[in-house]
Amino acid sequence: MRYKVVAFTMTLAAVTYLDRVCISILAPSNMRDLKLSQIQMSYVFSAFTLAYAIFEIPTARWADRIGSRSVLTRIVVWWSAFTMATAGAFSYAALLIIRFLFGVGEAGAWPNAARVFARWIPARERGRVQGLFFAGAHLSGGLTPMFVAYLATFLHWRTIFLLLGSVGLFWALAWFFWFRDEPREHASVSPQERDMIEAERGLPPGHAGSWKQVLSTRSLVPLCIQYFANTYGFFFFISWLPTYLQKSRGMANVELALFAGLPLLLSVVADITGGLTTDALSKHFGLRVGRCGVGAVAYFLAAIGMASGTMVEIGRLAGLLIAVCGAF
């Protein structure tokens, strides 16, 4: 049953990126119809991210109080509604507000997924499970540019937002009726699997930590710095990369859709192999090598790939190097 839970959360990751990435492909159409400049569109992208940052901790804290089942249902219903509401934006101000509220709704989705894994997955399996989860997100994000580009050949961008937003509503309904916060609450979990999970998941009694415990965790600040660097580069892939490839590298149509999704498609392989690698190295050499070592080497290679991609003259080679950077 725990693997079915992982599979369900992979579809959550896929729906997250389906709604999040589509606006980057449709940005030229949005800008044309709403008469937006690139600077204004940048604020639209940032409105989502700002709201996401502000509401990440409160939403995750809310789940600590009432459970991930209810909170994830609310999150997906909310963001799906505002994905669909994007279709109704007829001005710059309206689009800013809608995308800000979209970010409010989606904030907390991934902390909740991590919370689900903490309760359903033994500690020894977490690396590969996180890898599978990210793979689901990146596969969806990698295929979305091609899918949306195809839809845009015969559907208006407003119709596409309505269509993609409706997918999340079906997910939320299925999640609420099927998932349970604890393995012992799910009727399909065998006593043997339940006991194994509870014995090996490594949660302290009561499962809740104080703010003092959280803030005194030594790895907290380094992890925040790491994820800041990660997101600073990664956000480019899911927002401005299609425009960059089109304006600066002269790509169009099928080629543009392929290279816009390539960083995420290559990341699918990297997610799975990275999860397996960190579990294996942690087992043999400890967490410092298995977690910190893998992260440090991967980021170093990513930096080389991104820098190289901006300097080469050949458009396709640049696109490939940027995609390899994303995978690392």
User: pLDDT higher for 257 or 198?
Assistant: 198
Q: What is the count of structural domains for the chain?
A: 2
Burial string for 125-160 (b: 16+ CB within 10 Å, else e) reads bbbbbbbbbbbbbbbbbbbbbbbbbebbeeeebbeb
Res 275: pLDDT:
83
Q: pLDDT band for position 186 (50/70/90)?
A: very high
213 found inside a domain: no
Least confident among 60-74, 120-134, 169-183, 184-198: 120-134
DSSP 8-state code for residue 65? H
192 found inside a domain: no
pLDDT at 207 over 70: no
CB within 8 Å of 176: residues ≥ 6 apart: 69, 70, 73
Res 208: pLDDT:
59
Does residue 179 contact residue 69 with C-beta atoms inside 8 Å? yes
pLDDT in tens, 244-271: 888 888 888 788 888 888 888 898 889 8
Same domain, 246 and 309: yes
Res 215: pLDDT:
85
Q: pLDDT band for position 206 (50/70/90)?
A: low
Report, as an integer, the average pLDDT of 156-170. Answer: 91
CB within 8 Å of 290: residues ≥ 6 apart: 127, 277, 278, 279, 280, 281, 282, 283
pLDDT in tens, 52-103: 999 999 999 999 899 999 999 999 999 899 999 999 999 999 999 999 999 9
Same domain, 113 and 22: yes
Separation CA 34–CA 96 (nearest Å): 12
306 found inside a domain: yes
Report, as an integer, the average pLDDT of 139-146. Answer: 81
* Long-range contacts, stretch 91-97, CB < 8 angstroms, 24+ apart: 91/34, 92/34, 92/35, 92/36, 92/40, 92/44, 95/30, 95/34, 95/36, 95/44, 96/43, 96/44, 96/47, 97/47
191 found inside a domain: no
Q: What CATH number is attached to the domain comprising 88? A: 1.20.1250.20
Report, as an integer, the average pLDDT of 125-130. Answer: 86
CB within 8 Å of 136: residues ≥ 6 apart: 9, 10, 11, 12, 13, 14
206 found inside a domain: no
Residue type, 257: A
Same domain, 13 and 126: yes
Same domain, 149 and 13: yes
pLDDT in tens, 104-120: 988 999 899 999 999 99
Q: pLDDT band for position 123 (50/70/90)?
A: confident
Separation CA 151–CA 155 (nearest Å): 6
**CA-closest candidate to residue 104, choices 81, 136, 138:** 81
Least confident among 14-18, 197-201, 218-222: 14-18
Res 279: pLDDT:
84
Same domain, 251 and 134: no
pLDDT at 223 over 90: no
Separation CA 199–CA 116 (nearest Å): 16
190 found inside a domain: no
Helix, strand, coil % over all residues of the chain, rounded to 5: 85, 0, 15
Place of tokens 């696109």: 319
Does the CA dihedral 201-111-20-328 come out positive or negative? negative
pLDDT in tens, 16-40: 877 777 888 888 888 999 999 989 9
Q: pTM for the whole thing?
A: 0.79
Domain that holds residue 259: 219-328
Same domain, 232 and 128: no
